[in-house]
């Protein structure tokens, strides 16, 4: 049986705010603790902005941890499902119908899925969310303009990646961070590996990856800790040290800031499922 395909503006969460702009649909949905959506698809392309909480999304045969703030793009018909954490979540969706795209000549809608953890896409979706929350007579014009800016920012990022490719030194830095995220690495260490100036490394890394090296490492450590909390009964201090944190207290502070709940609550929620 084929997965259900939802029409424009329809989502499994509790719709809190919703506005339609001649083919552009803006919807804020709220999801309760440990809420889960069935495997499904949407009729139209849409951006999701994780404004609060976190969830794990299954798409393309792999799982992705989506932490606020983050922006995800889903092409039409993409099959996925979501599992929210202990604190639930708040997600703004901006759905683009073919009629809206046709009205805006040159609006380049991405062809495949994409995720942005920082940078212009997150900032622009946050501003669209603000317009939705404080709607007035000029909000439709503002929201539509911000959406066009978002598409331009995404297209520009894609064009840069296509034309220039990822620098070989950046590939080495990413491989180094993936392999050694539990270690204490400095910007000088990374610059030495890359063979470029630290300021150049930081600027290019942020432009290409949407975050700083420190944020990249922090997300890898938290993802590692989530797997250990889910799959083992190791004490928190052991998980903290294995993930690269100085001690359990530091680990718990970072985990709660990233995930919205302490690691003990996360483990209890996973065990309950």
Task: Give Cα separations from 92 to 40, 49, 80 (angstroms).
Answer: 18, 5, 17
Residue 49 has pLDDT above 90, yes or no: yes
- CATH among 1.10.10.60, 3.40.50.300, 3.40.50.1370, 3.40.50.11540 for 215-272: 1.10.10.60
Query: What is the fold, at CATH topology level, of the domain defined by 5-163?
Result: Jelly Rolls (2.60.120)
- Judge if pTM exceeds 0.85: no
pLDDT in tens, 147-184: 999 998 888 766 545 445 678 888 889 889 988 999 99
- Number of residues written out for the chain: 273
Spatial distance between the Cα atoms of 156 and 206, rounded to a whole number of angstroms: 15
Cα–Cα dist 120/131, whole Å: 17
Q: 193: closest CA among 217, 214, 216, 169?
A: 169
Condensed to tens digits (0 to 9), the pLDDT of residues 188-203 reads 899 998 898 988 888 8
Q: What is the mean pLDDT of the chain?
A: 86
Q: Is pLDDT at 120 greater than 90 in this prediction?
A: no
Helical H segments across 81-235, by residue range: 98-103, 120-133, 139-164, 168-179, 187-194, 198-209, 213-231
Can you give the pLDDT at residue 182?
Answer: 92
* CA dihedral for 26, 28, 34, 38, sign (positive or negative): negative
Distances 61 to 21, 54, 79, 168 between C-alpha atoms, Å = 34, 19, 10, 28
The predicted structure's pLDDT at residue 85: 84
Residue 255's H or E segment, with its range, is helix 248-259
Tokens for 246? 């100085």
Share of the chain above pLDDT 90, in %: 33
């Amino acid at each position: 049986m084929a997965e259900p395909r939802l029409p424009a503006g329809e989502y499994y969460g509790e719709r809190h705010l919703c506005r339609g702009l001649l083919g552009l649909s803006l919807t804020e949905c709220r999801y309760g603790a440990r809420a889960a959506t069935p495997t499904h698809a949407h009729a139209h392309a849409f951006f999701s902005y994780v404004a609060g909480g976190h969830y794990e999304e299954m798409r393309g045969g792999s799982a992705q941890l989506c932490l606020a703030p983050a922006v995800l793009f889903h092409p039409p018909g993409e099959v996925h499902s979501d599992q929210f954490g202990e604190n639930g979540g708040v997600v703004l969706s901006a759905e683009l119908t073919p009629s809206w795209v046709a009205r805006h000549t040159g609006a380049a809608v991405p062809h495949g899925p994409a995720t942005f953890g920082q940078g212009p896409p997150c900032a622009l979706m946050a501003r669209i969310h603000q317009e939705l929350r404080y709607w007035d007579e000029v909000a439709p014009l503002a929201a539509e303009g911000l959406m066009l800016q978002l598409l331009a920012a995404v297209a520009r990022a894609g064009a840069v990646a296509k034309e220039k490719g990822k620098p070989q030194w950046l590939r080495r830095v990413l491989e180094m961070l993936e392999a050694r995220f539990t270690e204490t690495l400095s910007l000088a260490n990374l610059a030495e590996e890359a063979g470029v100036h630290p300021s150049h490394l930081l600027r290019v890394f942020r432009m290409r990856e949407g975050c700083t090296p420190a944020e990249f490492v922090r997300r890898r450590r938290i993802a590692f800790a989530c797997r250990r909390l889910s799959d083992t009964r190791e004490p928190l201090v052991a998980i903290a040290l294995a993930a690269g944190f100085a001690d359990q207290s530091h680990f718990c502070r970072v985990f709660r800031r990233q995930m919205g709940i302490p690691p003990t609550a996360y483990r209890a929620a996973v065990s309950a499922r």
